[in-house]
Amino acid sequence: MSDVQLADWRNHALTLESEVNKVVVGQQTPIRLITTSIFARGHVLLEGDVGVGKTTLLRAFTRGIGGGYQRIEGTIDLMPNDLVYHTYLGEDGKPHVSPGPLLMSGENLSVFFFNEINRARPQVHSLLLRVMAERSLSAFNTEHYFPHMIVFADRNQVEKEETFEIPSAARDRFMMEIPIVVPNDDAIMEALVFDTKFHNVDALVDTVKPDVLQFDELNAFSSVIQNSIEASDTLKRYALNLWKATKAPLDYGVKVSGVDMNRLVLSGASPRGMSMMLRAARVNAWLNNRNAVLPDDIHAVFHSTIAHRLVFSPVYEMRRTEIAREMLSGIVNAVAAP
């Protein structure tokens, strides 16, 4: 693909970001990371309190890239089949079956949002993880395919009763975990509360320009980005040193306040995690009009692609977010960049 075509796609990607930023204000960093995940074709965990705009954000992106948007709520009584089909009694008094959220859009499913995934049982997680990995599902004696689907999921971080946390091996299937927080800006906070345009989500999402990108072309273009953006040998050695530091941070002089570093890390980043980090870094370089990955591109995606993969001693799990942020920042500062 020519540089002109790469630039044309980049302009469309930046237009998409601009459209979404008009709808979900004060979230420039999460919007850039979601854009990155879309072009890197990776699934995403969203971290944030209730009511910070996660659903609005995903609906806005879906309108901009096209394809189907489906959502399901995690509940204690949710069963794996609820993702696939619904049964009900029709007016004729006979049982009927209708497609569930995974099948409703067919092969045009673009964005699937699992809200409060930790409220659902492990059997449900298992099905979702399989669909994420294979992008296919057998149901009704038919193989169903979801070649363009990206899964987004968030967790209920307030209630601990009747929740089933995603194990570390399952978290590793997600390319990123992206925090969505309330903007710390009085003008934006005031607008969110008092500007009535933010009160009607349907009308707000409808203001996004539709089909800025073509969802069914993203897989092919993602491969083009990965093959077009270079990573030098020096950059590869730098990434390797970052990886080693996630496994043994104390060897690199990294410390976290109030933490016994000898007991902290049970497992560092996985090979899959580092591979996904480089995929995301290449996309970030492309979005910034570069043809090679720089350390800044790795820094832009390092926390979001690595933090959720770290396995800490159980005594530190309750402080996971805080500790991971401080530890990874320490690693970036300790490992010399080329």
251-290 pLDDT per residue, tens? 999 999 999 999 999 999 999 999 999 999 999 999 999 9
Residue 69 near residue 113 (C-beta atoms within 8 A): yes
User: Please, what CATH class does the domain formed by 229-334 belong to?
Assistant: mainly alpha
Alpha-carbon torsion (303, 155, 112, 199), positive or negative = negative
Nearest Cα to 167, choosing from 42, 271, 309? Answer: 309
Please state, in angstroms and as integers, the Cα–Cα distance from residue 4 to each residue in 9, 10, 222, 289, following that order: 9, 10, 16, 12
Residue 83: half-sphere exposure toward Cβ, Cα within 13 Å: 28
Whether pTM exceeds 0.85: yes
Please say if the pLDDT value at position 105 is more than 80: yes
Please tell me the distance from the alpha carbon of residue 120 to that of residue 219, in angstroms, as a whole number: 30
Please tell me the distance from the alpha carbon of residue 88 to that of residue 293, in angstroms, as a whole number: 53
Please tell me the distance from the alpha carbon of residue 76 to that of residue 242, in angstroms, as a whole number: 39
Each domain of the chain, given as residue ranges in start order, spans 3-221, 229-334
Q: Going by CATH, does the domain composed of 3-221 fall within 3.40.50.300? A: yes
Please tell me the distance from the alpha carbon of residue 320 to that of residue 213, in angstroms, as a whole number: 36
Quickly count: other Cβ atoms within 10 Å of residue 177's Cβ. 23
Q: 146-187 pLDDT, tens per residue? A: 999 999 999 877 777 778 988 888 999 999 999 999 999 999
6-20, 106-120, 152-166, 225-239, range with the lowest pLDDT: 152-166
